[in-house]
Amino acid sequence: MPPTCLSMYIAFLVLGCSFVTIVNAFSLNKSSSPAIPNHESVQSSLTNKMILAPLTRGGNLPFRRLCADFGMHTSVSEMIYARSLLRGDPIENARLRRSEGESIFGVQIATNQIDEGVNAIKRAVEMGADFCDLNCGCPIHEATRRGLGSSLLRSPKKLQKLVRGLVESSEIPVTVKIRLGCETNSINCLENVRAAREAGAAAITIHGRTAQQGYSKNADWDLIRRAVMETKDDGYGHIPIIGNGDILTYYEARRRMEETGVDSVMVGRGALCKPWIFKEFNDNATWAPDTKERVQIYRVLANYMKDHFGDDDMGRKKSWNFLPWHFEFLSRYTPYPEEDFAAQSIDRPLIQNRMVLPDHTDPLDVLLANRCSDAHEVIASILWDSDSDETAVQKLNIFAESQDFKRILTTGSVNEGEDKVLSNLPKGKAGKWGKRRGRKPGPKRTEEEIAQIRAERAAKKERILAEGGTWPP
């Protein structure tokens, strides 16, 4: 081959290889680019469902796993502080994990900065989250003093900017959970719903109370209904609106969906009281497990905690942050058959009821309904140590008829921190000057005021015990 032809041939090969390299590189970049968030798939998972709410402490992985056993389809993690997560906090990192059986799992973050939120969402994506939920409803001082949680509701414009920034940079759909407003005298639910949907939120959950109300008032489902109507009238009907507040039974959930037009309902305390509420919703029927069946369910929760935290002394220590605490809610369980309580639930949410045990109630039922933390400690220990359901029932029965439990029924829990509570000292570790950071301590009660409060509590306890109730109520 002549030298000129050879040179041209080599040049052609070089150009060809370069072109192939460029094409391959382009194809590689194209295939590795972030996927467009699948809003339709997530939105369908948030329609006609009962969703487990993000529950601080209660929404731990073993409990969500138990709810999944009863047909829970969609759930949200405990609230995660984005800043702490990005700093490598091991507790916040652990909250990114999903349990077995969680079909659709969302991670809820607390942030007020776009870059911080985007980076937290990336961590959630790495852990397999299906969507990310922005917390705009947490009322606790630890969150609001940082400009997080419900404090975001004070400015719909700033909220819209934050949500838009997260949506535009997120690989997964972004949802928003709000309350009716921050303060009771500044309810701006409709404005915040409008801001979130126009910013591209894939779904919006509305808790029917203000942050200031906490759980002290009945949820305002009429305002939730107005938000649904406005969303549909403005052409945003494809965005699911999820209602939250005072749901304890499947028929209350169905009625709220029918009356307000919400696409789904979210449950928190209702699931803590009876994790099988998801089964009831899916079956459209009340399920009233007997005492032995409930012991079996509670023992499953204990075993799930062993699986998650470890079946050793350290695992037990970690589990004890959760297991005894769960009985604060599990002890409130009362069966509410639809035929007997549907009419009553229209006037007053059943979750607000405090039932008094009838005379001659089985001792084990009395134990499981007891609200004393001392009893919860014993119940948790028996469930943890028992190697079978039968053994757990036997040991619980023995304790239910013991003098130790009778003493608890008579005296209630020994509150070693009563004086601190009555003297207005803050919860947790006090600072150098015995006050919360960023908040002036309230006036301390006098000895006379403390004595009066104690006398009123003693009289209340005596009255409730005389009526056949349990103490604490």
Domains and CATH numbers, the chain: 39-282 (3.20.20.70), 288-338+361-411 (no CATH)
What does the pLDDT read at residue 359? 81
- Cα distance between residue 144 and residue 151, in whole Å: 5
- Cα distance between residue 62 and residue 323, in whole Å: 10
Give the lowest-confidence range in 28-42, 51-65, 131-145.
Answer: 28-42
Q: What is the pTM of this model?
A: 0.80
Residue 9 confidence class, pLDDT cut points 50, 70, 90: very low
69 versus 464: which is more confidently predicted? Answer: 69
Please say whether the beta carbons of 365 and 357 come within 8 A.
Answer: yes
32 versus 288: which is more confidently predicted? Answer: 288
Helix or strand (DSSP H, E) at 348: none
Residue 443 confidence class, pLDDT cut points 50, 70, 90: low
Q: What are phi and psi of 467, to 5 degrees?
A: -85, 0
Q: At residue 464, does pLDDT exceed 50?
A: yes
What percent of the chain clears pLDDT 90, i.e. is strictly above it? Answer: 70
- Cα distance between residue 371 and residue 457, in whole Å: 16
- Cα distance between residue 14 and residue 20, in whole Å: 10
Give the lowest-confidence range in 2-6, 51-55, 184-188.
Answer: 2-6
Q: At residue 149, does pLDDT exceed 80?
A: yes
Please say whether the beta carbons of 309 and 65 come within 8 A.
Answer: no
Q: At residue 186, does pLDDT exceed 60?
A: yes
Q: At residue 431, does pLDDT exceed 80?
A: no
What does the pLDDT read at residue 16? 46
Quick check: is 138 catalytic? yes
Please say whether the beta carbons of 177 and 135 come within 8 A.
Answer: yes
Q: At residue 13, does pLDDT exceed 50?
A: no
Residue 44 confidence class, pLDDT cut points 50, 70, 90: confident
What does the pLDDT read at residue 398? 97
Assign residue 104 a region: left if phi > 0, alpha if psi is -120 to 50, beta otherwise? Answer: beta
Residue 473 confidence class, pLDDT cut points 50, 70, 90: low
- Across the range 405-413, mean pLDDT stands at 82
What does the pLDDT read at residue 469? 61
pLDDT tens for each residue of 289-316: 999 999 999 999 999 999 999 999 999 9
Q: At residue 358, does pLDDT exceed 80?
A: yes
Helix or strand (DSSP H, E) at 176: strand 174-179
What does the pLDDT read at residue 49? 96
What does the pLDDT read at residue 467? 62
Cis before residue 472, ω within 30 degrees of 0?
A: yes
pLDDT tens for each residue of 68-101: 999 999 999 999 999 999 999 999 999 999 998 8
Give the lowest-confidence range in 9-18, 341-350, 460-469.
Answer: 9-18
- Cα distance between residue 95 and residue 61, in whole Å: 8
Please say whether the beta carbons of 330 and 272 come within 8 A.
Answer: yes
The CA radius of gyration of the chain, in Å to the nearest whole number, is 27
From the candidates 67, 132, 138, 189, give the one annotated as an active-site residue.
138
Q: How high does pLDDT run on average in the chain?
A: 86
